[in-house]
A and B are shown apart, each in its own frame.
Chain A
Amino acid sequence: MNRKMKKQLQEFTFILPALVMFAIFVAYPFLQGFPISFTKWDGMSPNKVYAGLKNYTKIVGDGNVMNAVKNTLLFTAVTMVFSNLFGLLFALMISKKSKLNNVLRTCIFMPYCLSLVLSSYIWRYVYSDVFYEKFGIASPLGSTTWVMIGLAAISVWRDAGYCMVVYIAAIQGVSIDYYEAAELEGATWWQKFRAITFPMIAPAVTANFTLLLAWGMKVFDYPMAATAGGPGRASETVAMLIYNNLFTYFKAGYGQAIAVVFTISIFAVSTLVSKALRAREVEI
């Protein structure tokens, strides 16, 4: 009995450090967030005023919140679809093992190593000095209609390489026997893709879509560095709005209420999307 307890205690020491760090710096502040969201508070003064559900009812009619939600969703939709589309295309082209493909993979994944801040700055000049100066296409970052698409393009450039790597590994995991059998029956490239590759890499599709969804909903660095939320508020995202409520407008209580709704929404949307994708995996 005593020995068993000693062993269990020893096992527990393996997880203890990770658990402690996680509890202090993630779980505890996460829980603290809920009471703050029911107060009117500037984020500094010692006295918080209890405000009941006021912050939450205010969110519904707040045009700035709706604007940020719209911008964030647009960004998420574009990055989710196009990072995966390009990632999959690149993966199909260079999944075979060869020296050249190795070099190409290294190149295509390289943007993922840059910080989001740096990617944003480089693209400001790609837009202004190449798109505009050379081709006469006005920078999307200056237009209220196109700014989120322009920012999403930066993210697609950076994240397509990541998606590609996941897809390549999934494609390499598909047994070659399937393809040989299909070739004997004279299947075309497209038929092979539809009937073999795509169904077999379904788990990778699910993983990539869910990940890009989470990244997209949390987007902060690109608009912060490339446009500072502008022009006007055309590229302010939910994450930025929460940041600004604490550090610019000194409305920590209200910002926290937005953060709580934001977290619940991300949770709900991610669960729904991953459930839907998993169900599709079984179907095909």
Chain B
Amino acid sequence: MSKKLKKCLSVLLKLTIALLVISPFYIALIYSVKSKQEMVTDRLAFPKTIHWDNFTRAIETSNFVLALKNSLLTTLLAVIVITLTCTMASYIIARKNNRFYNLIYYLFVGAMIIPFQSIMTPLYINMTRWKLLNTLHGFVFAKIGFQIAFTVLLVSGFVKSIPRELEEAAAIDGAGMYAVFFRIVFPLMKPIVLTSIVLNALNVWNDFQMSLTLLQQKQVRNIPLTQYFFFGENSIELGLAFALFILSVIPILGLYLTLQKYIIGGITQGAVKG
């Protein structure tokens, strides 16, 4: 009996903690569907009428569709290129353990520490000179460059754990290096590839600092910039601001919930072994 009670208490405690952690989401959710009047009377109460109007008006006045398009495009492109270039690079680094590739590996380890501020001014100037400032592809290039070190460290730790026998057998059968990589190694890397996709997608999608520096015109604003400027303009009409916030979270939460089981395994692979 007392064991059962203990179990009950522990479940209750766990549930309370989880609820506390996600409780700030409640604020964002109810503020997004409250009318202006209700916001004044009792902010935290559950809304009496659901005010969907906030969403339609937020979409219209914030240029949300454009921001969503910009964010989806940049995230998709960056993640595809990062995944391809970094899995190939990690493969060769993990398999060829010679001085040259080790040197590159340690170069990336060191580069992980570089803060964005130390390259901000030169990057800004180069981008202006190369006509890449205020362009989506310019932002994608810079984002790819900045995520390479992290991703290579994450993935190469995993490649070391893949047995070589299959590759060697394929090589004896006369398959070229590219065929071996894309037909045999890449499919085996699936768990770590998915982890790196989620982590890089989160990083690019949520990037604020590099966006603020490289995307300074309205037509190239992505979601974090739109959040930032829209909030500045709508701190009085909170319903609109929070409706926009909810909309902007849906795609990335969707990705997280579909791929979440790959996050746990992958983060540890990279964080602990890498």
Instruction: List chain A positions with a Cβ less than 8 A from chain B.
Output: 7, 10-11, 14-15, 17-19, 21-22, 24-30, 32-33, 36, 43, 90, 93-94, 100-101, 103-118, 121-123, 125-126, 129-130, 133-134, 157, 160-162, 165-166, 168-170, 173, 203-204, 207-208, 211, 214, 217-218, 220-221, 224-225, 238-239, 242-243, 246-247, 252, 255-256, 259-260, 262-263, 266-267, 270
Contacts and interface: CB of A to CB of B under 8 A. Distances in A.
B21 A29 contact: no
Interface in B113-158: 113-126, 141-142, 144-146, 148-149, 152
Contact of B115 (A10, A161, A218): A218
A111 B206 contact: no
26 contacts: A18-B88, A22-B149, A28-B126, A30-B114, A30-B118, A30-B119, A90-B17, A94-B14, A100-B14, A108-B17, A110-B253, A113-B256, A115-B205, A115-B206, A115-B248, A118-B227, A118-B245, A122-B27, A122-B28, A123-B24, A125-B31, A165-B264, A169-B267, A169-B272, A170-B272, A262-B118
A25 B118 contact: no
A15 B93 contact: yes
Given A129-B43, A169-B268, A116 B144 contact: no
Contacts, number: 250
Contacts of B10: 93
Interface size class of B (residues with CB under 8 A): 35 or more
B188 interface: no
Name A's interface SS.
helix
Interface string B67-106: 0000000000000010011101101110010000100100
Name B's interface SS.
helix
A33 B122 contact: yes
Given A17-B88, A116-B206, A266 B115 contact: yes
Contacts of A104: 14-15, 17-18
A65 B71 CA distance: 34
